[in-house]
Amino acid sequence: MKPDKWWNNFDKKELNQVVLYEMYRQGRFEVAKTFALEMGMEEPLQDVQKFKQMWKMLDSLDRFNILPALQFFIYLLFFLNKKKKKKYTHI
């Protein structure tokens, strides 16, 4: 009898989700979409939008355009002030 491989102990659904999120982290959105379809998973659209926003900011910063990053930080400060009912002036 063959011993179990270490990867056989993982829940396949959770493992597929880890793979999907790693594709988002790498900015491979089309590949992730195809992977989700083939695995019968629904894409977490809110999380996908967050990753796309992050990649948009990184791309802008690579081109020395800081406006999208500044807009995000202004939004984040507004969100934190509204959520915590505490005045944040920096992150």
Summarised one tens digit per residue, pLDDT across range 23-58 is: 999 999 999 999 999 999 999 999 999 999 889 888
Which pairs count as long-range contacts for 52-57, CB under 8 Å and 24+ apart, including other chains?
55/27
pLDDT at 89: 61
Q: Helical H runs in the chain? A: 12-25, 29-39, 45-62, 67-84
Can you say how many angstroms the Cα of residue 87 is from the centroid of all Cα atoms in its chain? 28
| pTM as predicted | 0.68
